[in-house]
Amino acid sequence: MKKLSHYDPAGSPRMVDVSAKPETRRTARAHAFVKIAPSVLRKLPGNPKGNPLEIARIAGIGAAKRTSELIPLCHPLMLSHADLEVTLEARGVRIVASAATTAQTGVEMEALTAAAVAALTVYDMTKALDKSIEIQDLYLLEKTGGKSGSFRRKHD
């Protein structure tokens, strides 16, 4: 059975020591969906705060770069790439965040944080129109690199 690496043998939380791990190229992609009523979606192009999709993309990039400040035991990483695809769909906004680095630990948390903050930004920019907007389906799509190898989420 696998053990959770963020706990020492006594059960106290700790930052994992990755100093003995080799630096390898690591990538991750994460997903989030913001469910928005069609009547609100139609109003997005005229949003007085600006284009919510582009602002969400920029917010997500900034969040990826600051993940270790938000998640207590997360290692600070020098990202070589962070970007988001923010797409308007019939039921809402689909967000796919990607992150990459060459480091001793993975970038899953950076991709997930980017997707989450982008979704929160869409909510923030549209909440005046509808408070019932839902943030849904935040999950890791895939990751590459590291000792555990590649992971790709199976479609439901």
% of the chain residues with pLDDT over 70: 95
pLDDT digits (tens, 9 = 90+) for 97-143: 999 999 988 899 999 999 999 999 999 999 988 999 999 999 999 99
pLDDT at 4 over 70: no
What are the CA-CA distances from residue 116 to residues 11, 41, 85 (Å)? 29, 19, 13
Q: Which residues make beta-bridge pairs with 142?
A: 29, 152
Q: Cβ(133)–Cβ(40) under 8 Å?
A: yes
Q: Cβ(39)–Cβ(128) under 8 Å?
A: no
How far apart are the C-alpha atoms of 113 and 71, rounded to whole Å? 9
Active-site annotation holder among 83, 124, 130, 137: 124
Class of domain 24-147: alpha beta
Q: Which residues of 59-68 are buried (b: 16+ CB within 10 A; e: fewer)?
A: bbbebbbebb
Geometric angle at alpha carbon 18, from 71 and 147, rounded to 5°: 100
The domains of the chain are located at 24-147
The reported pLDDT for the residue numbered 102 is: 94
What mean pLDDT do residues 64-83 have? 95
The reported pLDDT for the residue numbered 8 is: 72
Q: In what order do the strands lie in the sheet with 81-89?
A: 81-89, 92-103, 24-35, 134-144, 151-152
pTM for this predicted structure: 0.90
How far apart are the C-alpha atoms of 80 and 25, rounded to whole Å? 10
The reported pLDDT for the residue numbered 1 is: 53
What mean pLDDT do residues 140-153 have? 92
pLDDT at 9 over 90: no
Please confirm, yes or no, whether 124 is among the known catalytic residues: yes
